Amino acid sequence: ELVYTAVTRARRRLSLYADERILSAAIATRTERRSGLAALFSSRE
């Protein structure tokens, strides 16, 4: 998710230098967000 965010937020250009295996692992890694929104919405049900 972090790689996707970086790519989609780039304004003009993005230079990405990484080993292919490391980049693949970064793309496959999901980020757990702890904003509290999930708890807020689940408490309203």
pLDDT at 45: 58
Task: Provide the residue count of the chain.
Answer: 45
pLDDT at 44: 67
Which domain range does residue 7 map to? 2-43
Which is nearest to 6 in space by CA: 36, 26, 35, 32?
A: 26
> Distances in Å between the alpha carbon of 10 and those of 20, 33, 34, 39?
20, 21, 24, 31
* Residue with more model confidence, 6 or 39: 6
- The total of structural domains in the chain comes to 1
8-43 confidence digits (pLDDT tens): 999 999 898 999 999 999 889 887 777 787 778 887
